[in-house]
């Protein structure tokens, strides 16, 4: 594997940035795993713009030989719903992995993700510690300057073509659970002047989500705020501890950096950290994509599996187009 490479494009940007390691640099890039007991990867350097034609990535390792099957996922959802109805929790997020075997060309894909998702955080990171990851996430964990911060309450998914149909009760409940949790968490941790916008539709390529912007003031260090917010109900569930207890019996894979967080912090106090959604791990012979859904007691297993496929296609369709693959990628 080559030396560490970190490339990203912030929401609304049309260019890409690269972080060149420098102990005197004013920018920190961090990527944290879902499991808070595992170490985050943090590198300091100087950020400059880069032309993708100048970027070279050498992949290594072997992609997984299997994927989460439809029956495996639906069985997990049935078990989760039974536990939720017995008041084990209000919501739990169950994820799936999907692996593909082919010759990846990640540098080629970055421009496609940037074009398709102009309001997402697009990134590619490679290091000995993390492996190689690429993603396009729509969800902000925390951003801001000095003591003025913002986060987002995001939950619920539908196809953009369904935008004339009102959001369903299940999606509305899921989003309100996330909002209430974040509000209470911020209050408990001394945040002030908390302001929550009305839930609105957030477009993400061919998908839409329900989202509320939450702004607040806090004197805490931004690293402490990020660790306080992570993991959010949007990627784990509520109550948090009960949802975490349920996950080992519902997921057979390690999430690694999926649903962790990543982004930049500067010496001047600017912060932009995002939840690591819509992401994949890259290998020399293929990729492993991660998707998931929020499950409540009203969830229908078939619908939740279909939602993971919609999220998966939002990534894989770009790969097929950019790499001009003749056949649709078939999961392992």
pLDDT tens digits, one per residue of 36-79: 999 999 999 999 999 999 999 999 999 999 999 999 999 999 99
Torsion angle (degrees, nearest 10) of CA 22, 24, 25, 26: 150
Residue 64: exposure state from Cβ atoms within 10 A (0-12, 13-18, ≥19):
middle
Backbone angles phi, psi at 221, to 5 degrees: -65, 145
| The predicted structure's pLDDT at residue 204 | 85
Residue 327 falls inside a structural domain = no
Q: What is the mean pLDDT of residues 164-174?
A: 86
The CATH number of whichever domain residue 302 belongs to comes to 3.60.120.10
In this prediction, residue 1 has a pLDDT band, given cuts at 50, 70 and 90, of: low
Which pLDDT does position 299 carry in this prediction?
94
Between 100 and 162, residue with greater pLDDT:
100
**For position 82, what pLDDT does the model report?**
96
Q: In this predicted model, what pLDDT tens digit does every residue of 250-273 receive, in sequence order?
A: 999 999 999 999 999 998 889 999
Split into its structural domains, the chain has a count of 1
Q: What is the mean pLDDT of residues 117-140?
A: 95
Q: How far apart are CA 82 and CA 234, in angstroms?
A: 20
**Per-residue pLDDT reduced to its tens digit, 216-234:** 999 998 889 999 999 988 8
User: Considering the domain boundaries, does residue 283 fall inside one?
Assistant: yes
Give me the residues paired with residue 283 across strands.
286
pLDDT of res. 173:
85
Helices (H), the chain: 70-85, 106-116, 169-188, 222-229, 240-250, 301-322
**Collapsed DSSP state (helix, strand, coil) of residue 44:** strand
Whether residue 307 is predicted with pLDDT greater than 70 in this model: the reply is yes
Structure token digits, residue 26: 């004013």
Confidence of residue 150 (pLDDT cuts 50, 70, 90): very high
pLDDT tens figures, 10-39: 999 999 999 999 999 999 999 999 999 999
- Show the domain range for 261: 5-322
**329 falls within a domain:** no
Per-residue pLDDT band at 125 (split at 50, 70, 90): very high
Cα distance between the two ends of the chain: 25
Q: What is the 3-state secondary structure (H, E, C) of 48-75?
A: EEECHHHCCCCCCCCCCCCCCCHHHHHH
Give just the sign of the alpha carbon dihedral 173, 148, 239, 234: positive
pLDDT at 171: 87
Residue 280: DSSP 8-state = E
pLDDT bracket for residue 163 (50, 70, 90): confident
Q: Do residues 216 and 195 touch, judged by C-beta distance below 8 A?
A: yes
Structural domain contains residue 115: yes
Task: Quickly count: other Cβ atoms within 10 Å of residue 84's Cβ.
Answer: 22
User: How far, in Å, CA of 194 to CA of 238, rounded?
Assistant: 21
The model carries a pTM of 0.94
Q: Could you tell me the two tokens for 183?
A: 């509000």
Confidence of residue 2 (pLDDT cuts 50, 70, 90): low
328 inside domain: no
Q: Say yes or no to pLDDT of 166 above 60.
A: yes
Q: What is the mean pLDDT of the chain?
A: 93
Is residue 331 assigned to a domain? no
Which residues have a Cβ under 8 Å from the Cβ of 253 and sit 6 or more positions away? 68, 95, 97
């Amino acid at each position: 594997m080559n030396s560490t490479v970190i490339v990203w494009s912030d929401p609304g940007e049309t260019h890409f940035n690269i972080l060149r390691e420098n102990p005197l640099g004013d920018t920190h890039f961090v990527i944290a795993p879902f499991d808070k007991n595992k170490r985050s990867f943090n590198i300091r350097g100087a950020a400059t713009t880069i032309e993708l034609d100048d970027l070279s990535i050498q992949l290594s390792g072997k992609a997984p030989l299997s994927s989460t099957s439809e029956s495996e996922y639906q069985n997990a959802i049935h078990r989760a719903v039974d536990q939720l109805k017995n008041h084990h929790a209000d919501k739990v997020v169950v994820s799936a992995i999907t692996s593909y075997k082919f010759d990846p060309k990640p540098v080629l894909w970055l421009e496609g993700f940037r074009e398709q998702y102009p309001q997402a955080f697009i990134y590619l990171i490679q290091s000995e510690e993390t492996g190689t990851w690429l993603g396009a996430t729509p969800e902000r964990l925390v951003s801001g300057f000095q003591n003025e911060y913002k986060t987002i309450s995001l939950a619920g998914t539908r196809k953009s073509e369904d935008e004339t149909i009102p959001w369903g009760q299940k999606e509305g409940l899921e989003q309100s659970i996330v909002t209430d949790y974040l509000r209470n968490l911020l209050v408990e941790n001394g945040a002030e002047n908390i302001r929550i916008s009305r839930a609105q539709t957030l477009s993400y390529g061919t998908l839409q989500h329900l989202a509320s912007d939450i702004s607040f003031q806090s004197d805490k260090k931004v690293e402490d705020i990020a660790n306080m917010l992570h993991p959010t109900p949007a990627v784990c569930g509520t109550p948090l501890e009960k949802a975490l207890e349920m996950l080992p019996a519902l997921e057979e894979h390690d999430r690694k950096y999926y649903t962790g967080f990543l982004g930049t912090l500067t010496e001047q106090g600017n912060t932009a950290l995002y939840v690591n959604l819509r992401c994949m791990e890259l290998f020399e012979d293929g990729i492993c994509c991660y998707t998931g859904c929020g499950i409540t007691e009203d969830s229908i297993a078939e619908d939740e599996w279909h939602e993971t496929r919609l999220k998966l296609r939002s990534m894989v369709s770009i790969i097929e187009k950019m790499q001009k693959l003749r056949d649709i990628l078939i999961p392992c």
